[in-house]
Amino acid sequence: MITKILQLQKRDSYVYQNIQDKAAWNTFNHVYALADGTTQSINSERWAAMITEDFVAKPTFNSKEIIDLFTDTARKFSNENYSFSSNPAIAALEKAKISKGASTTFLGLQFLQNNYVNVISCGDTNLFLIDNKGHLINCFPFNTVKAINTNNSFINTTQLTEQKIDASYFRIKKIRHTKNNIFIMATDALSRLFLKKPETIREVMKINNFDMLYNFCLKYWDKKELEEDDISAIVIFRLHPPNLSSHVLSATSVSHCVFLHPQHDVVVSISLFKIHKYGLVSNYQLNAQFLYSITIYMLHYKLYDSSWWPVGTQLE
């Protein structure tokens, strides 16, 4: 299984650290999660990160259980210290927003035996099931732009702790697939583009480096066909690489770009490649042994592009 995480912050955010979309995965139990923190609520990027991380650590596709899980997460979120602005006027606005809680959409996916997946969602983050030629087979929970636009469900921290979120907030489904199918989990802006122009799905499937992602977004932003928003997708190819244990070294916690499962599933995070060129992140280090591992893997599967690596990367 090969998974690509595609992320680009909206242009008025300027830096990648400000992106409010968050993705998490756990390749040991084949679970993926994507959340889109709302711009209107404060610290929503942190809330989105926390619920995706907690979900992949303890996945559930039962509405009561996921509400209990996210309620515990909301309590942890509320107990974290938030640094208010030094500007009194801005700080007052931030405190007012905090009392209303942080909000996010959510989409969780787990691969099961016998070619099934479980899906659970709240909000307008969408799942697309694609055949191996890039044609759209199915999508969940929304199959039209109009349906996405009528969505008004979000997972809010205050509503969770006040027990105001119930099973009606979540949509749950088990989907059958074939081993050749491709899955794309996408936040709302990209989902609307896919539904309006399904041929763009094939373009996204072919994205293999940061320049390709950046140029794709610029093209459709400039055409006014893609909303000016954070862009995020998890693209999952149902592939099973052969045993490369003699060639691939294990990755460590420095794997911000790519994560290698011990059985050689690979997750490629396109968002963090070539970051120095675009000024998205600084003071970025990779372990030299880790870079060697990834290079061997990508050369073997023809995923490697020398332009991927960050300019000025410091090797330990």
Task: Give yes or no: residues 227 and 309 share one domain.
Answer: no
For 8, 9, 131, 309, the CA distances from 17, given in Å and listed in that order, are 10, 8, 34, 19
Residue 191 placed within a domain: yes
246 in the same domain as 156:
no
**Is residue 277 one of the residues assigned to a domain?**
yes
Give the pLDDT band (50/70/90) at residue 292: very low
pLDDT band at 239 (very low <50, low <70, confident <90, very high): low
Asked whether the predicted pLDDT for residue 140 surpasses 60, the reply is: yes
Same domain, 220 and 260: no
Backbone angles phi, psi at 107, to 5 degrees: -140, 125
Residue 310, preceding peptide bond in cis (omega within 30° of 0): no
In a domain, 2, yes or no: no
Question: Do residues 97 and 119 both lie within one domain?
Answer: yes
Question: Is residue 46's pLDDT more than 70?
Answer: yes
Tell me what the mean pLDDT of segment 177-203 comes to.
94
Which of 186, 203, 232 is at the close of a domain? 232
Band (pLDDT 50/70/90 cuts) for residue 90 is: confident
What value does the mean pLDDT of the chain take? 77
Q: How many CB atoms lie within 10 A of CB 112?
A: 13
Q: Closest Cα partner for 237 from 140, 138, 139, 130? A: 130
DSSP string, 128-189: EEE-TTS-EEEEES-SSHHHHHT----EEHHHHHTT---GGG-EEEEEE--TT-EEEEE-HH
Residue 47 lies in a domain: yes
8 to each of 106, 209, 232, 273, how far by Cα in Å? 18, 12, 7, 11
Task: Answer yes or no: do 24 and 140 share one domain.
Answer: yes
- Whether residue 310 lies inside any domain: the answer is yes
Quickly state the pLDDT bin for 192 (edges 50, 70, 90). Answer: very high
- Shared domain for 272 and 202, answered yes or no, is no
Residue 120 sits in which domain range?
Answer: 10-232
8 A C-beta contact, residue 56 and residue 50: no
pTM score? 0.76
Question: Residue 17: pLDDT band by 50, 70, 90 thresholds?
Answer: low
Q: Are residues 113 and 89 in the same domain?
A: yes
Q: In this structure, are 87 and 220 located in the same domain?
A: yes
Tokens representing residue 120 in the block: 């659970």
- Highest mean pLDDT (candidates 25-39, 90-104, 106-120): 106-120
Domain CATH for 170: 3.60.40.10
Q: What is the pLDDT of residue 13?
A: 66
Query: Which residues lie closer than 8 Å to 297 by C-beta, 6 or more apart?
Result: 244, 247, 248, 260, 264, 266, 303
**Pick from 86-90, 231-235, 266-270, 309-313: least confident:** 309-313
- One domain for residues 279 and 302: yes
Residue 268 has pLDDT above 50, yes or no: no
Q: What is the pLDDT of residue 260?
A: 33
Domain end point (choices 232, 249, 274): 232
Cross-strand partners of 225: none
Residues 54 and 197 both lie in one domain:
yes
Q: Does residue 138 sit in the same domain as residue 248?
A: no
Instruction: Kindly state whether residue 4 falls inside one of the protein's structural domains.
Output: no
Report the number of distinct structural domains present in the chain: 2
Q: Which of 185, 210, 232 is the last residue of a domain?
A: 232
pLDDT at 297: 42
Phi then psi for residue 260, to 5 deg, are -105, 125
